[in-house]
Amino acid sequence: METHKHDLSHLFRQLGYSGAPEHIDQFIATHRLDKGVPLADAMFWTPAQAHFLRRALAEDSDWSEVVDMLAVRLTR
């Protein structure tokens, strides 16, 4: 089990994206999540990415806090 805290940069790299702050900001600026839609149900994720996000939240893993943070930043 991992015991360190993750941040958005680590999450984006885990999802297969660049973890550079400017790339994260660009992603957030161009992707939106409607209020009430679970993050993993957003249409812009691949099936593997959606699975990772669902699992992170369901298992309350070390990733869950940063996954929640991303959901807040993407929500309209």
Total number of domains in the chain: 1
Closest CA to 15 of 59, 58, 46: 46
Q: Is residue 65 part of a domain?
A: yes
Domain at 42, CATH number? 1.10.10.1130
Place of tokens 């992707």: 31
What does residue 54 show for φ and ψ, rounded to 5 degrees? -60, -45
63-72: pLDDT as tens digits? 999 999 999 9
Local confidence pLDDT in tens for the 76 residues of the chain? 455 678 999 999 999 999 999 999 999 999 999 999 999 999 999 999 999 999 999 998 899 999 999 999 999 7
In eight-state DSSP terms, residue 75 is B
Task: Look up the domain containing 47 and give its range.
Answer: 8-74
